[in-house]
Chains A and B, each alone.
Chain A
Amino acid sequence: MATLKLYLTSLEPNLNQAIYSQSIGGYVSNSLVYPETTLLSTTGLYDTDISLNTPSSGSWSEWQGIEYINIGNELIKIPSFINGSIVVTQRAYNGIYNMHIEGDTVRASSSKELFNDVFNDSYKQYRCIAIKNVSTNSTDPSNEQTAYNLSVCIKQNSRSLDSSIKIALERPSSEYITGVATSWNIMQLIDTSLIGVYDDDYFKESYLKVTSGEASSQGKIISSFDRGTGTFTFYNSFSSALDFTINPTYEVFPSPAQRVKTGTVSPNVGSLNVTQFFTPNEFTPLTFFEQASVFNMSNLAPNDIMYVWIERQVDKGSVEFVNNDFVLNYRYKVTE
């Protein structure tokens, strides 16, 4: 079954994003929106003892200082975090009780993260996060890894009467591919199997990463793609010390989202690849309709990405500013 995770966005590809206010479009970063772990044992609707597995990093250091954990649709207030055994302060802090089972994703959350207190003159701010299909075929090649008909909805909007959120979807204009170079040099990589397959500059601005040989894990941003020759050209060069007689395997990640100047500037919405801002509920989730001219970006194959823009608006004159939590749901079919 496909596994999707949520990442912050960053100005450059293949970066860790430590500053939440800079998650304003561009490339998918290597940083999850929130630190994650999994639930150790099943928890009923009203249980107050929660046990967590140690995070894959092996340490709880990222979890120090958190105020809430998020499991499913439920936000749970916790006391000062020490380790994986928690006696919660308040279940259903956001008013939603959920049942949780062993292995569920648990995210750490605090009030000082995705959003801050910097708004524009319309009292709005914007963030962009990426939904990425992180499934791999390594464990079970026969298993279906594609997430079909992805849609996003706001399960719970802000509980504060003085604030609200809207979301817009942006799909990359190019898809994830892998291949084997037929030749390459410091500024170009050629794969003749791509001749005539994709349009000129289809992969422009996407990130190409070499996955074998001595340049393995090194990547470059593509400045142009030539349909007639299958040539990727880069903005910056590989080291001339590399052995260019050995052709590597490579992967090209989906193109980046638009990036705004600051978190107070709205992205351009309402185009072929970007929806308008909406407040879709669970009965009318936001999705892209399949279009013949565009590969179906409602289906996320492994490594494919969908960007979600979040517009947060507050009202002027709020004496108190609490209960601004909200819940996004990402729905997909596990089979076509």
Chain B
Amino acid sequence: MFISSLKFLLRFGDTSIFEEVSQTNLSVLGDNLIPSVSTSGYVMQNDQYLYGDGLSSNGYNTAITNEYTLGFWLYPVSPGVAIDSTTGNLLSIEMPVLICVDNSSAEHTIIEITEHTKTSGNNSLRVAERGDYLAFSEEYESDKWHYFWITRDSNELKIFIDGIEQTLQDEEGTMQPSVTEGLNTFLNVYINNSLDGYGESVAKNTGIIDDIFLTNVRNASESDMQRLINDGIIYVVDDIYTTTNVIKSSVYANDPETITINSMINDLSYIFVGRNDGKIMRGSALFWETRKTFSNLEEYKTGGLHGSPNEGFLSLNNTTIRL
């Protein structure tokens, strides 16, 4: 069962575009009505965007006022920068990610998330809120999965990327205590759509987005971010998993890269080497295979002899005798 503060959850778990809190599907709009969705997420496409307005088209019942937490995985791409047709200056390209608007015909923008390209080849995420407040994240590399975690209370916005709090860049405007002041808190959601249209410095996003969630509380818990990033979103939003802890331990077991040998015989077919622990190995191109020929299971059993007439060698369990 989901935590009570969860108001929107879009995991793209299969080919459907299913929002799990309202139990409704988002609509696919644009020229191409077949979304590209897999367990890796939703591939945002040029002329396509997603639109969700919740149960009975009444919007998602977020009850958001002063606080929210919004998170998603994003595999960003950078189409480079544009050139101002008038001045010739380089222009950052804006790409839509996600917009929350109120469920009214006026569609007031409550939260708008966009990406902006940089001349470095990196991108920066911009969070804009109702009331003309906006802030950018630090730059992050494109073509790598990143986790974005945005949270706010009545007087502070925080952006975390991959679990690290960002120093907000180029802040503008003043945060309003409530992002839904005077508006319906039932919200609609657009994914990869620019409500202001497109131009020379505004382009569609062609990255991949996954595991989008929205709560109506502020959460800046590093532990929760870690659980989400490492173990999965379900460990943060589902009561069944929020009390489950996971201890991880990896074991590295490559073969030693070097061995110590005391002697070596080359009979022109094989190379026989004596190891410092008394084992004898027959070398070949398939060195590993040969070593297992002389495995040690039989060490503690009484020896049995078998000959290898073609090779002129006799095996005595784990050792070899030259005939």
A interface residues (Cβ-Cβ under 8 A, vs B): 1-2, 4, 6, 33-34, 42-47, 67-68, 70, 72-75, 94, 97-102, 107, 109-115, 117-121, 123, 131, 147, 155-156, 158, 261-262, 264, 310, 312, 314, 316-335
Enumerate chain B residues within 8 angstroms of A74, measured Cβ to Cβ. 250
In the A-B complex, the 9 residue pairs with the closest CB atoms: A45-B162, A99-B163, A120-B297, A44-B162, A44-B164, A330-B247, A327-B250, A115-B253, A111-B254
Inter-subunit contact B289/A109 (CB<8 Å): no
B245's contact among A123, A319, A331, by CB below 8 Å, is which?
A: A331
Instruction: Assess whether B161 is interfacial by the CB under 8 Å rule.
Output: yes
Inter-subunit contact A330/B249 (CB<8 Å): yes
Inter-subunit contact B229/A99 (CB<8 Å): yes
B239-261 near A? 1/0 per residue, CB < 8 Å: 00001111111111111110000
Closest CB in chain A relative to B57 CB, distance in Å: 35
Inter-subunit contact B295/A119 (CB<8 Å): yes
Inter-subunit contact A325/B253 (CB<8 Å): yes
Q: Which residue of A lies closest to B225 (CB)?
A: A99
**Stretch in B9-17, B100-108, B139-147, B195-203 with 4+ CB within 8 Å of A:** B139-147
Bound complex: CA A4 to CA B249 (Å): 11
Bound complex: CA A75 to CA B252 (Å): 8
Given contacts A42-B222, A101-B226, A331-B244, contact A111 B253 (CB under 8 A): yes
Inter-subunit contact B226/A99 (CB<8 Å): yes
Inter-subunit contact B254/A322 (CB<8 Å): yes
B interface residues (Cβ-Cβ under 8 A, vs A): 141, 144-147, 161-164, 222-223, 225-226, 229-230, 243-257, 285-289, 291-292, 295-300
Q: Which residue of B lies closest to A312 (CB)?
A: B253
A317's contact among B243, B289, B300, by CB below 8 Å, is which?
A: B289
Inter-subunit contact B250/A73 (CB<8 Å): yes
Bound complex: CA A277 to CA B231 (Å): 25
Inter-subunit contact B144/A46 (CB<8 Å): yes
List 12 interface pairs A-B (beta carbons < 8 Å), by A numbering: A4-B247, A42-B164, A42-B222, A44-B164, A45-B145, A67-B252, A75-B252, A155-B248, A310-B251, A317-B289, A318-B286, A322-B255
Inter-subunit contact B250/A317 (CB<8 Å): no
Closest CB in chain B relative to A68 CB, distance in Å: 5
Given contacts A4-B247, A325-B250, A326-B251, contact A317 B162 (CB under 8 A): no
Inter-subunit contact B141/A156 (CB<8 Å): no
Inter-subunit contact B250/A118 (CB<8 Å): no
Enumerate chain A residues within 8 angstroms of B298, measured Cβ to Cβ. 121
Enumerate chain A residues within 8 angstroms of B230, measured Cβ to Cβ. 72-73, 98-99
Inter-subunit contact A332/B244 (CB<8 Å): yes
Enumerate chain A residues within 8 angstroms of B296, measured Cβ to Cβ. 118-120, 262, 264
Q: Which residue of B lies closest to A101 (CB)?
A: B222
Inter-subunit contact B286/A319 (CB<8 Å): yes
B255's contact among A72, A94, A111, by CB below 8 Å, is which?
A: A111
Given contacts A98-B230, A101-B222, A318-B289, contact A75 B245 (CB under 8 A): no
Given contacts A264-B295, A329-B246, A334-B244, contact A99 B162 (CB under 8 A): yes
Closest CB in chain A relative to B193 CB, distance in Å: 28
Enumerate chain B residues within 8 angstroms of A310, measured Cβ to Cβ. 251
Closest CB in chain B relative to A240 CB, distance in Å: 39
Enumerate chain A residues within 8 angstroms of B254, measured Cβ to Cβ. 111, 321-325
Inter-subunit contact A333/B244 (CB<8 Å): yes
Closest CB in chain A relative to B247 CB, distance in Å: 4
Closest CB in chain B relative to A303 CB, distance in Å: 17
Bound complex: CA A97 to CA B243 (Å): 23
Enumerate chain B residues within 8 angstroms of A107, measured Cβ to Cβ. 249-250
Inter-subunit contact B295/A121 (CB<8 Å): yes
Inter-subunit contact B252/A68 (CB<8 Å): yes
Bound complex: CA A331 to CA B254 (Å): 26
Bound complex: CA A328 to CA B123 (Å): 35
Enumerate chain B residues within 8 angstroms of A46, measured Cβ to Cβ. 141, 144, 162
Bound complex: CA A46 to CA B297 (Å): 44
Inter-subunit contact B243/A335 (CB<8 Å): yes
Bound complex: CA A109 to CA B222 (Å): 26
Inter-subunit contact A117/B252 (CB<8 Å): no
Enumerate chain B residues within 8 angstroms of A97, measured Cβ to Cβ. 145
Inter-subunit contact B245/A2 (CB<8 Å): yes
Closest CB in chain A relative to B230 CB, distance in Å: 5
- Residue with the highest number of chain B CB atoms closer than 10 Å, among A44, A46, A70: A44
Bound complex: CA A314 to CA B145 (Å): 33
Inter-subunit contact A316/B253 (CB<8 Å): no
Enumerate chain A residues within 8 angstroms of B161, measured Cβ to Cβ. 44
- Residue with the highest number of chain A CB atoms closer than 10 Å, among B244, B285, B297, B299: B297
Enumerate chain A residues within 8 angstroms of B285, measured Cβ to Cβ. 319
Closest CB in chain B relative to A257 CB, distance in Å: 18
Inter-subunit contact B226/A119 (CB<8 Å): no
A318's contact among B248, B253, B257, B288, by CB below 8 Å, is which?
A: B288
Inter-subunit contact B246/A330 (CB<8 Å): yes
Q: Which residue of A lies closest to B223 (CB)?
A: A101
Bound complex: CA A312 to CA B245 (Å): 26
Enumerate chain A residues within 8 angstroms of B289, measured Cβ to Cβ. 316-318
Closest CB in chain B relative to A106 CB, distance in Å: 11
Enumerate chain B residues within 8 angstroms of A4, measured Cβ to Cβ. 247
Inter-subunit contact A329/B162 (CB<8 Å): no
Closest CB in chain A relative to B302 CB, distance in Å: 15
Closest CB in chain B relative to A146 CB, distance in Å: 12
Closest CB in chain A relative to B257 CB, distance in Å: 8
Inter-subunit contact A33/B249 (CB<8 Å): yes
Enumerate chain A residues within 8 angstroms of B252, measured Cβ to Cβ. 67-68, 70, 75, 109-111, 113, 324-325
